[in-house]
Structure 1
Amino acid sequence: MSAISASLADSATMLRRNFRHTVRNPLTLINAILVPIFMMFLMVYVFGDAFSVGVNYADYATPGLIMTTICYGISPTAIAVNSDMTTGFINRLRVMHVSRAAVLNAHVIATMLRTLVAIALIIGVALLMGFRPSASFTEWLGVIGIVALTVVAIGWLTVAFGLAAKSPESAGIAAVPLMLLPFLSSAFVPADKMGPGARQFAEYQPFTSIIETLRGLLTGAPSAGSAITAIAWCVGLALIGYLWARATFTKRA
Structure 2
Amino acid sequence: AYIAYVVPGLLLMTIGSTTIGTAVSVSNDMTEGIIARFRTMAIHRPSVLIGHVLGSVLQCVASVVLVAAIALAIGFRSTDATPLEWLAAFALLVLFATALTWIAVGMGLASPNAEAASNSAMPLILLPLLSSAFTPVHSMPGWFQPIAQYQPFTPAIETLRGLLLGTEIGNNGWLAVAWCVGLAVLGYLWSTAKFNADPK
Q: Indicate the TM-score class for this superposition, using the shorter chain for normalisation.
A: over 0.9
Partner of 1:162 in structure 2?
Answer: 108
Partner of 1:19 in structure 2?
Answer: none
| TM-score, structure 1 normalization | 0.76
Per the alignment, in what secondary structure is the counterpart of residue 100 of structure 1? coil
Partner of 1:195 in structure 2?
Answer: 141
Q: Using CA pairs under 8 Å that are at least 6 residues apart, name the structure with larger relative contact order, 1 or 2.
A: 2
Q: What is the CA distance between 1:224 and its match in structure 2?
A: 5.2
Per the alignment, in what secondary structure is the counterpart of residue 196 of structure 1? coil
Separation (CA, whole Å) in 1 of partners of 2:133 and 2:32:
38
Higher-helix-fraction structure = 1
Partner of 1:10 in structure 2?
Answer: none
Aligned-partner residue type, residue 86 of structure 2 = W
Separation (CA, whole Å) in 2 of partners of 1:112 and 1:124:
18
Q: What is the CA distance between 1:220 and its match in structure 2?
A: 3.1
Partner of 2:123 in structure 1?
Answer: 177
Partner of 2:22 in structure 1?
Answer: 77
Consecutive unaligned residues in structure 1, runs of 5 or more: 1-55
Q: Deviations over 1:149-203 (max 9, x none)?
A: 1001000000000000111110111100111100000001001111233222101
Partner of 1:58 in structure 2?
Answer: 3
**Correspondence list, 1:112-191, <5 A:** 112-133=57-78, 134-191=80-137
CA contact (8 A) 2:20 2:124 kept: no
CA contact (8 A) 2:3 2:75 kept: yes
Separation (CA, whole Å) in 2 of partners of 1:84 and 1:99:
17
Q: Which has the larger radius of gyration?
A: 1
Separation (CA, whole Å) in 1 of partners of 2:104 and 2:90:
21
**Correspondence list, 1:1-253, <5 A:** 56-133=1-78, 134-221=80-167, 223=169, 225-253=171-199
Q: What is the CA distance between 1:144 and its match in structure 2?
A: 0.8
Q: Deviations over 1:15-40 (max 9, x none)?
A: xxxxxxxxxxxxxxxxxxxxxxxxxx
CA contact (8 A) 1:90 1:100 kept: no
Matched pairs, number: 198
| TM-score, structure 2 normalization | 0.95
Q: Deviations over 1:39-66 (max 9, x none)?
A: xxxxxxxxxxxxxxxxx10110000000
